[in-house]
Structure 1
Amino acid sequence: MSTVNPAFRVATPADVPALVTLVESSYRGDSSRTGWTTEADILGGRRTDPDMVAAAVDDPAGLMLVAETDGALAACCQLENRGGHAYFGMFAVRPGAQGGGLGKKVLAEAERLAREEWGVTEMHMTVISVRDELIAWYVRRGYVRTGDTSPFPYGDERFGLPKRDDLEFELLVKKLG
Structure 2
Amino acid sequence: MTDLTFRAATPADVPAVVALVESAYRGEASRAGWTTEADLLDGQRTDPDAVSATIADPSTVVLLAEQDGRVVGCCELRAAGAVACFGMFAVDPAVQGGGIGRALLTHADTEAVARWRSPALEMTVIAQRADLLAWYERLGFVRTGERRPFPYGDERFGVPRRDDLEFVVLRRPTAVSG
TM-score above 0.5, yes or no: yes
User: Given the alignment of the two structures, is residue 50 of structure 1 paired with residue 74 of structure 2, yes or no?
Assistant: no
Q: How far did residue 159 of structure 1 move?
A: 0.4
Counterpart of 1:90 (choices 88, 91, 102) is 88
The number of equivalent residue pairs is 175
Q: Which amino acid aligns with 1:53?
A: V
Aligned to 2:6: 8
SS in 2 for 1:80: strand
Aligned residue identity for 2:15 = P
- Partner SS, residue 32 of structure 2: coil
Q: Distance in 2 between matches of 1:107 and 1:4?
A: 17
CA contact (8 A) 1:4 1:102 kept: no
Aligned residues of 1:4 and 1:101 also touching (Cα < 8 A): no
Q: Residue deviations 1:79-106, cap 9 Å, x none? A: 0011311000000000001000000000
In the alignment, does 2:100 pair up with 1:102? Answer: yes
Q: Which runs of 5+ in 2 are unaligned?
A: none
Cα RMSD after superposing both structures: 0.8
* 2:122 is the alignment partner of 1:128: no
Supply the distance in 2 between the matched residues of 1:116 and 1:53 (Cα, whole angstroms). 23
* Aligned position for 1:31: 29
Residue matched to 2:142: 144
Q: Tell me how far apart the structure 2 counterparts of residues 144 and 105 of structure 1 sit (CA, whole Å).
A: 19
TM-fit CA distance, 1:56: 1.1
Alpha-carbon shift at residue 73 of structure 1 (Å): 0.7
What's the TM-score once normalised by structure 1's chain length?
A: 0.97
